[in-house]
């Protein structure tokens, strides 16, 4: 009989460990899904920043070209 009691205890321990394992797997899955959401938000924010940065760079480059043309035009008008 003690052999069967040992098997029953072992079965209970295995069941408890399986339940713990399932609980931990659920926690890991939830953590991974939250991480994926955070990464998607970060990627979207970085894309928005990149777009804004590109607009700013083009605006500065256009301003520099306008200033260079203005200075060049002024110099030419003074020479003529």
pTM for the predicted model, two decimal places = 0.57
**DSSP symbols for 15-77:** HHHHHHHHHHHHHHHHHHHHHHHHHHHHHHHHHHHHHHHHHHHHHHHHHHHHHHHHHHHHHHH
Q: What is the pLDDT of residues 10-57, one digit of tens each?
A: 999 999 999 999 999 999 999 999 999 999 999 999 999 999 999 999
């Amino acid at each position: 009989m003690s052999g069967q009691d040992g098997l029953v205890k072992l079965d209970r321990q295995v069941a408890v460990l399986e339940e713990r394992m399932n609980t931990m797997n659920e926690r890991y899955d939830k953590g991974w899904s939250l991480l994926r959401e955070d990464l998607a938000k970060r990627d979207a924010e970085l894309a928005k920043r990149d777009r804004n940065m590109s607009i700013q760079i083009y605006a500065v480059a256009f301003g520099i070209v306008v200033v260079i043309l203005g200075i060049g035009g002024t110099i030419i008008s003074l020479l003529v």
